[in-house]
Amino acid sequence: MIPLLLQPESHVPLYVQLRDQIRALIHGGDLRPGARIPASRELATQLGVHRTTVANAYAELESEGLISGHVGRGTFIRGDGVKKISAVPHPTSADGGLRWESLFADERGEEILSRLTQAAPRGSVSFVMARPAAEFFPIEELRKCSNAVWRREGTEILQFGPSDGYPPLKQALVGMLRSEGYEAGDENLLITDGCQQALDLVCKAFLRPGDTVLLENPAYPGALAIFTGARARILGVPVNSESGPGKTPGVDVSAIEAVLVQNRVKMMVLTPDFHNPTGTTLPVAERRRLLEIAARFQVPVIEDHIYARLRARGERVPSLKQLDRSNLVVQIDSFSKIAFPGMRVGWIVAPSNVIERLRLVKQSTDLHTGHLAQAILAEYVRRGLLGRHLERTRKAYSGRLAALEQALGRHMPSGTKWTRPEGGMCVWVELPPGFDSNELSIHTRERGVVFAPGRYFYFQNPQPNTLRLGFAGVAEREIARGIATLADVLRAEMRKRQRGARRAEVARVALV
Protein backbone atom coordinates (compact mmCIF):
# COMPACT_ATOMS: atom_id res chain seq x y z
CA MET A 1 0.00 0.00 0.00
CA ILE A 2 1.39 3.45 -0.87
CA PRO A 3 1.86 5.71 2.19
CA LEU A 4 -0.56 8.55 1.46
CA LEU A 5 -2.26 10.91 3.85
CA LEU A 6 -4.93 13.25 2.54
CA GLN A 7 -6.21 16.15 4.59
CA PRO A 8 -9.80 16.91 3.70
CA GLU A 9 -9.78 20.02 5.91
CA SER A 10 -6.86 21.55 3.98
CA HIS A 11 -7.38 24.39 1.49
CA VAL A 12 -5.46 22.33 -1.06
CA PRO A 13 -7.78 20.28 -3.28
CA LEU A 14 -7.58 16.55 -2.58
CA TYR A 15 -6.48 15.63 -6.09
CA VAL A 16 -3.62 18.16 -5.83
CA GLN A 17 -2.54 16.69 -2.49
CA LEU A 18 -2.63 13.22 -4.01
CA ARG A 19 -0.76 14.23 -7.16
CA ASP A 20 1.94 15.99 -5.15
CA GLN A 21 2.41 13.10 -2.72
CA ILE A 22 2.72 10.49 -5.48
CA ARG A 23 5.11 12.76 -7.37
CA ALA A 24 7.27 13.11 -4.23
CA LEU A 25 7.27 9.31 -3.76
CA ILE A 26 8.44 8.85 -7.35
CA HIS A 27 11.19 11.45 -7.11
CA GLY A 28 12.24 10.12 -3.68
CA GLY A 29 12.63 6.61 -5.11
CA ASP A 30 9.87 5.08 -2.96
CA LEU A 31 7.94 4.27 -6.11
CA ARG A 32 10.38 2.74 -8.57
CA PRO A 33 10.13 2.61 -12.36
CA GLY A 34 7.93 -0.26 -13.45
CA ALA A 35 6.07 -0.41 -10.12
CA ARG A 36 2.35 -0.84 -10.47
CA ILE A 37 0.10 1.56 -8.58
CA PRO A 38 -3.51 0.77 -7.70
CA ALA A 39 -6.28 1.42 -10.19
CA SER A 40 -8.10 4.68 -9.53
CA ARG A 41 -11.21 2.92 -8.23
CA GLU A 42 -9.13 0.81 -5.82
CA LEU A 43 -7.07 3.72 -4.51
CA ALA A 44 -10.21 5.84 -4.13
CA THR A 45 -11.75 3.14 -1.94
CA GLN A 46 -8.55 2.84 0.14
CA LEU A 47 -8.41 6.59 0.68
CA GLY A 48 -12.13 7.12 1.09
CA VAL A 49 -12.30 9.71 -1.68
CA HIS A 50 -14.27 10.03 -4.87
CA ARG A 51 -12.86 8.16 -7.86
CA THR A 52 -12.54 11.36 -9.91
CA THR A 53 -10.14 12.72 -7.28
CA VAL A 54 -7.73 9.88 -8.03
CA ALA A 55 -8.45 10.00 -11.76
CA ASN A 56 -7.62 13.73 -11.84
CA ALA A 57 -4.37 13.20 -9.94
CA TYR A 58 -3.38 10.32 -12.25
CA ALA A 59 -4.23 12.38 -15.34
CA GLU A 60 -1.87 15.13 -14.25
CA LEU A 61 0.94 12.71 -13.36
CA GLU A 62 0.49 11.04 -16.71
CA SER A 63 0.71 14.35 -18.55
CA GLU A 64 3.93 15.04 -16.62
CA GLY A 65 5.31 11.74 -17.96
CA LEU A 66 5.62 10.17 -14.51
CA ILE A 67 3.10 7.35 -14.87
CA SER A 68 1.39 5.58 -17.71
CA GLY A 69 -1.85 3.66 -17.83
CA HIS A 70 -2.31 0.51 -19.92
CA VAL A 71 -5.82 -0.70 -20.54
CA GLY A 72 -6.35 -4.03 -18.84
CA ARG A 73 -2.88 -4.11 -17.24
CA GLY A 74 -2.96 -1.18 -14.83
CA THR A 75 -1.02 2.00 -14.13
CA PHE A 76 2.79 1.96 -13.84
CA ILE A 77 5.60 4.27 -12.82
CA ARG A 78 7.47 5.18 -15.98
CA GLY A 79 11.13 4.31 -16.17
CA ASP A 80 12.06 7.47 -18.01
CA GLY A 81 9.65 9.69 -16.07
CA VAL A 82 12.01 11.42 -13.67
CA LYS A 83 14.64 11.95 -16.32
CA LYS A 84 12.01 13.16 -18.73
CA ILE A 85 10.88 15.92 -16.37
CA SER A 86 14.27 17.52 -16.28
CA ALA A 87 15.17 16.72 -19.87
CA VAL A 88 12.10 17.98 -21.72
CA PRO A 89 12.14 21.76 -22.06
CA HIS A 90 8.94 23.76 -21.70
CA PRO A 91 7.12 24.39 -24.98
CA THR A 92 8.39 27.30 -27.01
CA SER A 93 6.53 29.85 -29.13
CA ALA A 94 7.05 30.37 -32.87
CA ASP A 95 9.94 32.78 -32.22
CA GLY A 96 11.67 30.25 -29.96
CA GLY A 97 10.83 32.06 -26.70
CA LEU A 98 9.16 30.54 -23.67
CA ARG A 99 5.45 29.98 -24.29
CA TRP A 100 4.17 31.50 -21.05
CA GLU A 101 0.51 30.71 -21.78
CA SER A 102 1.25 27.00 -21.62
CA LEU A 103 2.53 27.45 -18.06
CA PHE A 104 -0.34 29.53 -16.65
CA ALA A 105 -2.47 27.75 -14.06
CA ASP A 106 -6.15 27.25 -14.86
CA GLU A 107 -8.08 30.43 -15.33
CA ARG A 108 -10.20 30.80 -12.21
CA GLY A 109 -12.68 33.55 -12.90
CA GLU A 110 -10.12 36.37 -12.91
CA GLU A 111 -11.56 37.80 -16.12
CA ILE A 112 -14.93 38.46 -14.45
CA LEU A 113 -13.85 41.81 -13.04
CA SER A 114 -11.84 43.02 -16.00
CA ARG A 115 -14.98 43.52 -18.10
CA LEU A 116 -16.01 46.30 -15.73
CA THR A 117 -12.67 48.01 -15.57
CA GLN A 118 -12.32 48.58 -19.32
CA ALA A 119 -11.62 52.25 -19.99
CA ALA A 120 -14.48 54.37 -21.32
CA PRO A 121 -13.73 56.27 -24.55
CA ARG A 122 -12.34 59.76 -23.91
CA GLY A 123 -14.99 62.43 -23.50
CA SER A 124 -17.84 59.95 -23.07
CA VAL A 125 -20.40 60.07 -20.28
CA SER A 126 -19.54 56.97 -18.28
CA PHE A 127 -22.07 55.29 -16.00
CA VAL A 128 -19.94 52.13 -15.97
CA MET A 129 -18.28 52.40 -12.60
CA ALA A 130 -19.75 52.71 -9.11
CA ARG A 131 -17.03 54.98 -7.79
CA PRO A 132 -16.62 58.27 -5.93
CA ALA A 133 -16.51 61.65 -7.64
CA ALA A 134 -12.85 62.61 -8.07
CA GLU A 135 -13.58 66.35 -7.94
CA PHE A 136 -14.26 66.07 -4.19
CA PHE A 137 -10.93 64.45 -3.36
CA PRO A 138 -9.42 66.73 -0.67
CA ILE A 139 -5.81 66.69 -1.87
CA GLU A 140 -4.72 69.63 0.29
CA GLU A 141 -6.21 68.20 3.51
CA LEU A 142 -4.61 64.85 2.80
CA ARG A 143 -1.27 66.50 2.11
CA LYS A 144 -1.43 68.12 5.55
CA CYS A 145 -2.38 64.80 7.20
CA SER A 146 0.48 63.13 5.37
CA ASN A 147 3.00 65.78 6.48
CA ALA A 148 1.84 65.40 10.08
CA VAL A 149 2.24 61.63 10.14
CA TRP A 150 5.67 61.74 8.48
CA ARG A 151 6.85 64.23 11.10
CA ARG A 152 5.37 62.35 14.02
CA GLU A 153 5.61 58.64 13.12
CA GLY A 154 7.88 58.34 10.08
CA THR A 155 9.96 55.54 11.58
CA GLU A 156 6.90 53.41 12.47
CA ILE A 157 5.46 53.96 9.00
CA LEU A 158 8.61 52.70 7.31
CA GLN A 159 8.99 49.62 9.50
CA PHE A 160 7.11 46.28 9.26
CA GLY A 161 3.99 46.30 11.43
CA PRO A 162 1.17 44.17 12.81
CA SER A 163 -0.91 42.14 10.35
CA ASP A 164 -4.20 43.19 11.95
CA GLY A 165 -3.54 46.84 11.18
CA TYR A 166 -1.66 50.00 12.06
CA PRO A 167 -2.67 50.70 15.69
CA PRO A 168 -3.60 54.40 15.23
CA LEU A 169 -6.00 53.48 12.41
CA LYS A 170 -7.53 50.68 14.46
CA GLN A 171 -8.06 53.12 17.34
CA ALA A 172 -9.64 55.72 15.05
CA LEU A 173 -11.98 53.11 13.54
CA VAL A 174 -12.96 51.67 16.93
CA GLY A 175 -13.88 55.25 17.94
CA MET A 176 -15.94 55.72 14.77
CA LEU A 177 -17.70 52.36 15.13
CA ARG A 178 -18.53 52.98 18.80
CA SER A 179 -20.01 56.38 17.92
CA GLU A 180 -22.24 54.53 15.46
CA GLY A 181 -23.44 52.11 18.17
CA TYR A 182 -21.21 49.11 17.45
CA GLU A 183 -19.81 47.23 20.40
CA ALA A 184 -16.52 46.59 18.61
CA GLY A 185 -13.12 46.67 20.32
CA ASP A 186 -9.61 46.40 18.94
CA GLU A 187 -9.88 42.58 19.01
CA ASN A 188 -12.90 42.71 16.69
CA LEU A 189 -11.16 44.64 13.94
CA LEU A 190 -8.80 43.72 11.10
CA ILE A 191 -7.49 46.24 8.57
CA THR A 192 -7.50 45.02 4.98
CA ASP A 193 -6.63 46.32 1.52
CA GLY A 194 -10.36 46.91 0.96
CA CYS A 195 -13.49 44.79 0.69
CA GLN A 196 -12.09 42.88 -2.26
CA GLN A 197 -9.28 41.58 -0.10
CA ALA A 198 -11.69 41.02 2.78
CA LEU A 199 -13.68 38.67 0.54
CA ASP A 200 -10.48 36.90 -0.44
CA LEU A 201 -9.39 36.49 3.20
CA VAL A 202 -12.81 35.23 4.26
CA CYS A 203 -12.71 32.80 1.37
CA LYS A 204 -9.25 31.50 2.28
CA ALA A 205 -10.17 31.24 5.95
CA PHE A 206 -13.45 29.37 5.53
CA LEU A 207 -13.87 27.69 2.17
CA ARG A 208 -12.69 24.39 0.80
CA PRO A 209 -13.16 23.64 -2.90
CA GLY A 210 -16.70 22.43 -3.42
CA ASP A 211 -18.13 24.24 -0.38
CA THR A 212 -21.35 26.08 -1.08
CA VAL A 213 -21.66 29.86 -0.85
CA LEU A 214 -24.90 31.75 -1.22
CA LEU A 215 -24.78 35.07 -3.08
CA GLU A 216 -27.33 37.52 -4.40
CA ASN A 217 -27.99 37.08 -8.10
CA PRO A 218 -27.14 39.56 -9.62
CA ALA A 219 -24.04 40.27 -7.54
CA TYR A 220 -20.91 42.38 -7.35
CA PRO A 221 -18.59 40.72 -9.93
CA GLY A 222 -15.57 40.96 -7.60
CA ALA A 223 -17.29 38.58 -5.17
CA LEU A 224 -18.06 36.20 -8.03
CA ALA A 225 -14.42 36.29 -9.12
CA ILE A 226 -13.23 35.38 -5.62
CA PHE A 227 -15.62 32.50 -5.04
CA THR A 228 -15.24 31.15 -8.56
CA GLY A 229 -11.48 31.21 -8.08
CA ALA A 230 -11.84 29.23 -4.87
CA ARG A 231 -13.76 26.52 -6.75
CA ALA A 232 -16.74 27.09 -4.48
CA ARG A 233 -20.23 26.04 -5.49
CA ILE A 234 -22.13 29.31 -5.82
CA LEU A 235 -25.89 29.39 -5.32
CA GLY A 236 -27.80 32.51 -6.26
CA VAL A 237 -30.81 34.06 -4.62
CA PRO A 238 -32.86 36.66 -6.52
CA VAL A 239 -33.00 40.30 -5.51
CA ASN A 240 -36.38 42.02 -5.64
CA SER A 241 -35.81 45.28 -7.42
CA GLU A 242 -39.31 46.70 -7.07
CA SER A 243 -40.44 48.60 -4.01
CA GLY A 244 -43.84 50.02 -3.09
CA PRO A 245 -47.01 48.68 -1.46
CA GLY A 246 -46.84 44.91 -1.04
CA LYS A 247 -43.30 44.76 -2.46
CA THR A 248 -40.18 44.04 -0.40
CA PRO A 249 -36.98 45.30 -1.97
CA GLY A 250 -33.62 43.57 -1.56
CA VAL A 251 -32.56 39.97 -1.45
CA ASP A 252 -35.44 37.49 -1.32
CA VAL A 253 -35.24 36.21 2.25
CA SER A 254 -37.81 33.47 1.66
CA ALA A 255 -35.64 32.20 -1.20
CA ILE A 256 -32.63 32.17 1.15
CA GLU A 257 -34.60 30.04 3.58
CA ALA A 258 -35.58 27.66 0.78
CA VAL A 259 -31.93 27.30 -0.29
CA LEU A 260 -30.82 26.63 3.29
CA VAL A 261 -33.49 23.97 3.72
CA GLN A 262 -32.17 22.06 0.72
CA ASN A 263 -28.41 22.70 0.80
CA ARG A 264 -25.58 22.63 3.23
CA VAL A 265 -24.42 26.24 2.84
CA LYS A 266 -21.09 27.30 4.33
CA MET A 267 -21.79 31.02 4.30
CA MET A 268 -23.89 33.75 2.72
CA VAL A 269 -22.41 36.93 1.30
CA LEU A 270 -24.91 39.77 1.13
CA THR A 271 -24.98 43.53 0.57
CA PRO A 272 -28.11 44.66 2.43
CA ASP A 273 -27.51 48.41 1.92
CA PHE A 274 -27.66 49.96 -1.56
CA HIS A 275 -26.85 46.64 -3.13
CA ASN A 276 -24.48 46.59 -6.08
CA PRO A 277 -25.80 46.41 -8.80
CA THR A 278 -29.51 46.94 -8.00
CA GLY A 279 -29.23 49.77 -5.44
CA THR A 280 -31.86 48.10 -3.24
CA THR A 281 -31.89 48.14 0.57
CA LEU A 282 -33.26 45.32 2.69
CA PRO A 283 -35.90 46.59 5.18
CA VAL A 284 -35.23 46.11 8.88
CA ALA A 285 -37.97 43.50 9.37
CA GLU A 286 -36.43 41.39 6.60
CA ARG A 287 -32.98 41.79 8.20
CA ARG A 288 -34.36 40.41 11.46
CA ARG A 289 -36.00 37.51 9.62
CA LEU A 290 -32.76 36.82 7.76
CA LEU A 291 -30.78 36.72 11.02
CA GLU A 292 -33.34 34.40 12.60
CA ILE A 293 -32.99 32.05 9.61
CA ALA A 294 -29.18 32.27 9.67
CA ALA A 295 -29.23 31.42 13.40
CA ARG A 296 -31.63 28.51 12.86
CA PHE A 297 -29.36 26.98 10.21
CA GLN A 298 -26.14 28.20 11.87
CA VAL A 299 -24.88 29.79 8.66
CA PRO A 300 -22.64 32.86 9.00
CA VAL A 301 -23.42 36.01 7.06
CA ILE A 302 -20.71 38.09 5.44
CA GLU A 303 -22.26 41.56 5.34
CA ASP A 304 -20.75 43.82 2.68
CA HIS A 305 -21.27 47.25 4.26
CA ILE A 306 -19.32 49.24 1.69
CA TYR A 307 -22.16 51.55 0.58
CA ALA A 308 -24.12 51.79 3.84
CA ARG A 309 -22.89 55.24 4.90
CA LEU A 310 -23.99 56.75 1.57
CA ARG A 311 -27.65 57.25 2.48
CA ALA A 312 -29.24 59.97 0.35
CA ARG A 313 -32.77 59.86 1.81
CA GLY A 314 -35.11 57.86 4.01
CA GLU A 315 -34.62 56.33 7.45
CA ARG A 316 -31.30 54.81 8.45
CA VAL A 317 -31.57 51.03 8.77
CA PRO A 318 -29.43 49.20 11.37
CA SER A 319 -26.85 46.90 9.83
CA LEU A 320 -27.00 43.12 10.18
CA LYS A 321 -23.95 43.38 12.43
CA GLN A 322 -25.78 45.82 14.68
CA LEU A 323 -28.85 43.57 14.85
CA ASP A 324 -26.88 40.34 15.30
CA ARG A 325 -27.36 38.72 18.71
CA SER A 326 -25.85 35.34 17.77
CA ASN A 327 -22.33 36.31 16.67
CA LEU A 328 -23.12 35.20 13.12
CA VAL A 329 -22.14 38.28 11.17
CA VAL A 330 -18.78 39.22 9.72
CA GLN A 331 -19.00 42.77 8.40
CA ILE A 332 -16.63 43.87 5.65
CA ASP A 333 -16.20 47.58 5.03
CA SER A 334 -13.95 50.03 3.22
CA PHE A 335 -12.85 53.60 2.63
CA SER A 336 -13.32 53.02 -1.11
CA LYS A 337 -16.82 54.41 -1.55
CA ILE A 338 -16.96 56.88 1.34
CA ALA A 339 -13.53 58.34 0.65
CA PHE A 340 -10.65 57.30 -1.61
CA PRO A 341 -10.54 53.89 -3.34
CA GLY A 342 -6.96 54.43 -4.50
CA MET A 343 -5.72 54.22 -0.90
CA ARG A 344 -6.81 50.53 -0.85
CA VAL A 345 -7.79 50.41 2.81
CA GLY A 346 -10.77 48.69 4.39
CA TRP A 347 -11.63 46.72 7.50
CA ILE A 348 -13.48 43.72 8.89
CA VAL A 349 -15.59 43.67 12.06
CA ALA A 350 -16.05 40.17 13.45
CA PRO A 351 -15.95 38.03 16.61
CA SER A 352 -12.41 38.01 18.05
CA ASN A 353 -11.70 34.34 17.21
CA VAL A 354 -12.64 34.99 13.58
CA ILE A 355 -10.42 38.07 13.50
CA GLU A 356 -7.51 36.04 14.84
CA ARG A 357 -7.93 33.44 12.08
CA LEU A 358 -8.28 36.16 9.44
CA ARG A 359 -5.18 37.87 10.82
CA LEU A 360 -3.12 34.74 10.17
CA VAL A 361 -4.52 34.45 6.66
CA LYS A 362 -3.80 38.14 6.03
CA GLN A 363 -0.25 37.66 7.30
CA SER A 364 0.42 34.89 4.83
CA THR A 365 -1.22 36.89 2.04
CA ASP A 366 0.61 40.23 2.24
CA LEU A 367 2.03 40.59 5.80
CA HIS A 368 0.00 43.77 6.30
CA THR A 369 -1.66 46.67 4.52
CA GLY A 370 0.70 49.55 3.66
CA HIS A 371 1.35 51.82 6.66
CA LEU A 372 1.40 55.11 4.85
CA ALA A 373 -2.19 54.86 3.60
CA GLN A 374 -3.34 53.61 7.01
CA ALA A 375 -1.54 56.40 8.87
CA ILE A 376 -2.92 59.15 6.60
CA LEU A 377 -6.45 57.80 6.92
CA ALA A 378 -6.09 57.52 10.71
CA GLU A 379 -5.13 61.18 10.84
CA TYR A 380 -7.94 62.09 8.46
CA VAL A 381 -10.52 60.31 10.65
CA ARG A 382 -9.02 61.70 13.89
CA ARG A 383 -9.23 65.28 12.62
CA GLY A 384 -12.96 64.80 11.92
CA LEU A 385 -12.36 65.31 8.21
CA LEU A 386 -13.89 62.02 7.08
CA GLY A 387 -17.24 63.00 8.58
CA ARG A 388 -17.16 66.34 6.73
CA HIS A 389 -16.08 64.75 3.47
CA LEU A 390 -18.88 62.23 3.76
CA GLU A 391 -21.46 64.96 4.37
CA ARG A 392 -20.28 66.85 1.30
CA THR A 393 -20.19 63.85 -1.01
CA ARG A 394 -23.46 62.42 0.30
CA LYS A 395 -25.19 65.67 -0.59
CA ALA A 396 -23.62 65.69 -4.06
CA TYR A 397 -24.54 62.05 -4.73
CA SER A 398 -28.07 62.62 -3.54
CA GLY A 399 -28.35 65.50 -6.06
CA ARG A 400 -26.97 63.21 -8.77
CA LEU A 401 -29.41 60.45 -7.87
CA ALA A 402 -32.29 62.93 -8.10
CA ALA A 403 -30.96 64.21 -11.46
CA LEU A 404 -30.72 60.64 -12.75
CA GLU A 405 -34.27 59.78 -11.68
CA GLN A 406 -35.56 62.98 -13.22
CA ALA A 407 -33.76 62.27 -16.51
CA LEU A 408 -34.96 58.66 -16.59
CA GLY A 409 -38.54 59.83 -15.93
CA ARG A 410 -38.32 62.47 -18.61
CA HIS A 411 -36.62 60.51 -21.38
CA MET A 412 -37.06 56.76 -21.07
CA PRO A 413 -39.77 55.16 -23.21
CA SER A 414 -42.69 53.48 -21.47
CA GLY A 415 -42.06 49.88 -20.56
CA THR A 416 -38.67 50.77 -19.06
CA LYS A 417 -38.37 50.36 -15.27
CA TRP A 418 -35.68 51.30 -12.79
CA THR A 419 -34.99 50.93 -9.07
CA ARG A 420 -35.42 53.78 -6.56
CA PRO A 421 -32.34 53.48 -4.34
CA GLU A 422 -32.21 55.50 -1.12
CA GLY A 423 -28.48 55.98 -1.54
CA GLY A 424 -25.34 54.22 -2.70
CA MET A 425 -23.99 54.55 -6.21
CA CYS A 426 -26.10 52.44 -8.60
CA VAL A 427 -29.49 52.44 -10.27
CA TRP A 428 -30.64 49.24 -12.01
CA VAL A 429 -32.63 49.63 -15.21
CA GLU A 430 -34.90 47.08 -16.85
CA LEU A 431 -35.50 47.71 -20.55
CA PRO A 432 -38.71 46.51 -22.19
CA PRO A 433 -38.67 42.72 -22.58
CA GLY A 434 -36.70 41.42 -25.54
CA PHE A 435 -34.06 44.18 -25.54
CA ASP A 436 -30.47 43.26 -24.98
CA SER A 437 -28.53 45.93 -23.08
CA ASN A 438 -25.27 44.54 -24.43
CA GLU A 439 -26.34 45.35 -27.99
CA LEU A 440 -27.68 48.69 -26.89
CA SER A 441 -24.32 49.51 -25.30
CA ILE A 442 -22.59 49.12 -28.69
CA HIS A 443 -24.81 51.86 -30.14
CA THR A 444 -24.66 54.18 -27.11
CA ARG A 445 -20.86 53.85 -27.03
CA GLU A 446 -20.75 55.21 -30.59
CA ARG A 447 -22.72 58.19 -29.28
CA GLY A 448 -20.41 58.74 -26.30
CA VAL A 449 -22.41 57.09 -23.49
CA VAL A 450 -21.34 53.93 -21.67
CA PHE A 451 -22.91 51.79 -18.95
CA ALA A 452 -22.53 48.28 -17.52
CA PRO A 453 -24.78 45.65 -19.17
CA GLY A 454 -26.70 43.58 -16.63
CA ARG A 455 -25.16 40.31 -17.77
CA TYR A 456 -21.87 41.31 -16.08
CA PHE A 457 -23.57 40.79 -12.72
CA TYR A 458 -25.51 37.58 -13.17
CA PHE A 459 -24.13 34.12 -12.62
CA GLN A 460 -27.47 32.38 -13.06
CA ASN A 461 -30.49 33.21 -15.25
CA PRO A 462 -29.06 36.35 -16.83
CA GLN A 463 -31.64 38.97 -17.74
CA PRO A 464 -30.22 40.55 -20.91
CA ASN A 465 -32.62 43.51 -20.74
CA THR A 466 -31.03 44.91 -17.57
CA LEU A 467 -28.22 47.41 -17.05
CA ARG A 468 -26.50 49.25 -14.22
CA LEU A 469 -26.00 53.00 -14.07
CA GLY A 470 -23.27 54.12 -11.68
CA PHE A 471 -24.15 57.76 -10.98
CA ALA A 472 -21.92 59.01 -8.15
CA GLY A 473 -18.98 59.98 -10.36
CA VAL A 474 -21.07 61.72 -13.06
CA ALA A 475 -21.94 65.43 -12.88
CA GLU A 476 -25.66 66.35 -13.04
CA ARG A 477 -25.56 67.94 -16.48
CA GLU A 478 -23.66 64.94 -17.85
CA ILE A 479 -26.29 62.68 -16.34
CA ALA A 480 -29.03 64.59 -18.18
CA ARG A 481 -27.11 64.43 -21.47
CA GLY A 482 -26.18 60.76 -21.03
CA ILE A 483 -29.71 59.59 -20.25
CA ALA A 484 -31.19 61.65 -23.11
CA THR A 485 -28.78 59.87 -25.49
CA LEU A 486 -29.43 56.45 -23.97
CA ALA A 487 -33.19 56.96 -24.37
CA ASP A 488 -32.73 58.24 -27.91
CA VAL A 489 -30.78 55.13 -28.93
CA LEU A 490 -33.33 52.89 -27.22
CA ARG A 491 -36.20 54.55 -29.10
CA ALA A 492 -34.34 54.17 -32.39
CA GLU A 493 -33.91 50.46 -31.64
CA MET A 494 -37.60 50.18 -30.79
CA ARG A 495 -38.56 51.81 -34.10
CA LYS A 496 -36.24 49.44 -35.97
CA ARG A 497 -37.98 46.52 -34.29
CA GLN A 498 -41.42 47.82 -35.08
CA ARG A 499 -40.46 48.25 -38.75
CA GLY A 500 -39.01 44.72 -38.76
CA ALA A 501 -42.19 43.34 -37.19
CA ARG A 502 -44.38 45.20 -39.74
CA ARG A 503 -42.30 43.88 -42.65
CA ALA A 504 -42.60 40.36 -41.28
CA GLU A 505 -46.36 40.83 -40.95
CA VAL A 506 -46.66 42.09 -44.57
CA ALA A 507 -44.60 39.12 -45.79
CA ARG A 508 -46.80 36.72 -43.81
CA VAL A 509 -50.00 38.27 -45.23
CA ALA A 510 -48.54 38.14 -48.77
CA LEU A 511 -47.75 34.45 -48.32
CA VAL A 512 -51.27 33.70 -47.05
Point out which residues bind ligand PLP (CB under 6 A). 130, 194-196, 220, 222, 271, 276, 304, 306, 334, 336, 341, 346
Measured distance CA(210)–CA(230) in Å, rounded: 8
Closer by beta carbon to ligand PLP, 33 or else 222: 222
DSSP label at residue 380: H
- What is the number of the residue whose Cβ is closest to ligand PLP? 194
User: Closest separation between CB of residue 405 and ligand PLP, Å?
Assistant: 21
**Residue 81 or residue 470: which is nearer to ligand PLP going by CB?**
470
CB of 172 to ligand PLP, least distance (A): 17
Q: Which is nearer to ligand PLP, 130 or 232 (CB)?
A: 130
Q: How far is the CB of 337 from ligand PLP (least distance, A)?
A: 7
CB of 275 to ligand PLP, least distance (A): 8
**Strand 250-251 relative to strand 189-192: parallel, antiparallel, unpaired?**
unpaired
Rounded to the nearest whole angstrom, what is the least distance from the CB of residue 51 to ligand PLP in the complex? Answer: 39
Half-sphere exposure of 243 (CA within 13 A, CB side): 15
Report the residue number, 281 or 485, with the smaller CB distance to ligand PLP: 281
Query: Do the Cβ atoms of 125 and 485 come closer than 8 Å?
Result: yes
Q: In whole angstroms, what is the distance from residue 188 CA to residue 60 CA?
A: 43
Least spacing, CB of residue 114 vs ligand PLP, in Å: 14
Nearer residue to ligand PLP within complex by CB, 53 or 192: 192
CB 425, min distance to ligand PLP, A: 8
CA–CA separation, 128 vs 449, rounded Å? 9
CB 35 to ligand PLP: min, Å: 50
Report the nearest approach of ligand PLP to the CB of residue 301 (Å): 14
Nearer CB in complex with ligand PLP: 259/472: 472
3-state SS class at 473: coil
Q: Which is nearer to ligand PLP, 294 or 306 (CB)?
A: 306
* CA 43 distance to own-chain centroid: 38
Candidates 467, 464, 459; CA nearest to 433 is 464
Q: Which 8-state DSSP code applies to residue 236?
A: E
The number of beta carbons lying within 10 Å of the beta carbon of residue 244 is 8
Q: Rounded to whole angstroms, how far apart are CA atoms 121 and 1?
A: 63
Cα distance between residue 69 and residue 117, in whole Å: 46
- DSSP symbols for 429-470: EEPSTT--HHHHHHHHHHTTEE-EEGGGT-SSS--TTEEEEE
How far is 1 from 25, CA to CA, in rounded Å?
12
Nearer to ligand PLP, 18 or 338 (CB): 338
Provide the minimum distance between the beta carbon of 244 and ligand PLP in the complex, in angstroms, as a whole number.
24
The smaller minimum CB distance to ligand PLP, of residues 199 and 408, is found at 199
CA of 389: how far to CAs of 130, 172, 396, 429, in Å? 18, 16, 11, 29
**Continuous segment of H or E residues that includes residue 107:** none
User: 371 - beta bridge partners?
Assistant: none
Provide the minimum distance between the beta carbon of 273 and ligand PLP in the complex, in angstroms, as a whole number.
Answer: 10
Angle between helices 139-158 and 371-382 in degrees, nearest 10: 130
State how far the alpha carbon of 193 is from the alpha carbons of 306, 332, 342, 366, 424, in Å: 13, 11, 10, 9, 21
Residue 66 Cβ, how far from ligand PLP at the closest point, in Å?
Answer: 41
Shorter beta-carbon distance to ligand PLP: residue 306 or 328: 306
DSSP labels, 147-200:
HHHHHHHHHHHHS---TT--HHHHHHHHHHHHHTT----GGGEEEES-HHHHHH
Nearest-CA neighbor of 32 among 78, 1, 94? 78
CA 286 to CA 272: how far, in whole Å? 10
Pairing of strands 466-470, 452-453: antiparallel
Using the minimum distance from each CB to ligand PLP, give the nearer residue, 333 or 493.
333
Closer by beta carbon to ligand PLP, 196 or else 444: 196
Q: How far is the CB of 75 from ligand PLP (least distance, A)?
A: 46
Length in residues, the chain: 512
Pick the closer one to ligand PLP by CB: 168 or 473: 473
